[in-house]
Amino acid sequence: MTNTKGTLYGVSVGPGDPELLTLKAVRVLREADVVAVPNIGHGRQTAYGIVEEYIQGKPLIDCSTPMLRDRTEVLRAYRGVADEIAAALDAGKSVAYVAIGDIGVYSTYFYIHEMLVEQGYSAEIVPGVTSFCASAARLGIPLCEGPEALTIVPVIAGDAKDAAMSVPGTKVFMKSGRDLGAVRTIVEESGMLDTTSLVANCGLPDEVLYPRFADVPADMSDYFTLVIAKQPR
């Protein structure tokens, strides 16, 4: 008898508030045989906390993908996770890989997704609420209006921060906790300090909002920190 392979689902779970899970995400989580939970080494399994209510009793795959500069080691970690997921899929199990925010925005999931798709496995994506959309909603501000552009910048990209400031419109600096000093300098030099805000741990119990970036403590370094810099009017 030929064994039917399972399907991998990349499930976006939003930035932190379980109520921001989509109906589709909840359905896929409830129907999945196995749940893959990312662990990037910052001490918080945030995605698991968001979906815990819907996956109780299900087998878990601990997806350890540490944030290292050594690309060879990082790819080895991805390969190990992909192999473990493949074993579950080969056994005919469906696997839901949960990821913070929207899985299409700077998610490590896609490295694993591509590895498995190249091997012939079936994979589907479930979109979700992004951290920057949720953060703007918590602040009560629009991300962009009319002809305004929206630029999303991963702070780890280095020179991208400076390049972004030359583009008109709103800038979003993601995961900027460890580099807030540099972000503040760039924003201030661009004359946008008074129109810049910060949200840390959006939707989580330790969420912090700073409508005025100038009020942010100098020692803030939360991993899930997002800065929204709007063009002065």
pLDDT of residue 3: 62
- The amino acid sitting at 28 is V
Strand partners, 12: 99
- Contact between residue 176 and residue 227 where contact means Cβ atoms under 8 Å apart: yes
Q: Three-state SS for 187?
A: helix
Q: Can you tell me the distance from the alpha carbon of 53 to that of 140, in angstroms, rounded to the nearest whole number?
A: 29
As averages over each run of 10 residues, the pLDDT of the chain (233 residues) reads: 82 95 98 88 70 93 74 86 97 96 92 96 97 97 93 75 81 85 89 94 93 91 90 85
**What is the C-alpha to C-alpha distance for residues 108 and 95, in angstroms, rounded to an integer?**
16
Integer Cα distance of 170 and 115 in angstroms: 34
Of 99, 102, 96, 98, the C-alpha closest to 31 is: 96
Q: Residue 5 carries which side chain, given as an amino acid letter?
A: K
Contact 100, 47 (CB under 8 A): yes
* pLDDT value of position 180: 87
Cα 223-214-195 angle, rounded to 5 deg: 95
Q: What pLDDT does residue 1 have? A: 40
Contact 226, 199 (CB under 8 A): yes
**71 in Cβ contact with 95 (< 8 Å):** no
